[in-house]
Amino acid sequence: MHSPRPHDLLWGLRPKQLPEEAPAWACAALGEHVPVVVRRAPAEPGWVAVGIRGAAREQRHAAWMRLSEISRLVSPQTVARAGRWRNHAQPHWPALRALSQLAPRLDDLGLSWGVTGSLGFELASGISAAHPGSDLDLLLRAPQPVSRVEAQTLCVLLDEAPGRVDLQLETPHGAVALREWAGEAPRVLLKTQNGPLLVSDPWQLQQVAA
């Protein structure tokens, strides 16, 4: 099992491990063995920053989890490889139609991609989280630089799919929105463990804007 990365789903956090001030719905969710989502935030050694999802859209709670408590980890890439969307009860939803269309295209390009967001959560856990209007949220592991031209080509691919598709490029230093990197702005927003930064090159962190 690799070290937890943003958007990974983790099982093992229990209600008794939350502080007393945690909302009741968060404790109830963990009591049902709902997984938590790894988020970007500093954590003490031996810990990972996570988020708890509730049934309602506004129910999101930040927490921390001991690495030793992780009983199971599912990455966005694992969700993509499992292909469970092919058997989803609502194949007509735009996000699912888009996923069915894009999956073979992204695989043919040899890209390391995964499904995140509400649909990724549902496909990984079996817990209903998506709805007919859900976007398709994707993550692309990009340890090596992706040029702006390559980003523009990928955007064309996404735009051919039904519904709205959002893709994050995961660089060694954080995540940048594909559509933003495909644009013309000299600097783009990079989401890092220590907060958002404006950078000219998401793969060269020393180029952070002052």
Question: Active-site residue 159, yes or no?
Answer: no
Task: Count other C-beta atoms under 10 Å from residue 172's C-beta.
Answer: 12
Catalytic residue among 137, 159, 166, 201: 137
Question: Active-site residue 135, yes or no?
Answer: yes
The 10 Å CB-count burial string (b at 16+, else e) for 146-157 is beeeebeebbee
Catalytic residue among 8, 107, 135, 201: 135
How far apart CA 158 and CA 108 sit, in angstroms, is: 14
Q: What amino acid positions are annotated as catalytic residues?
A: 135, 137
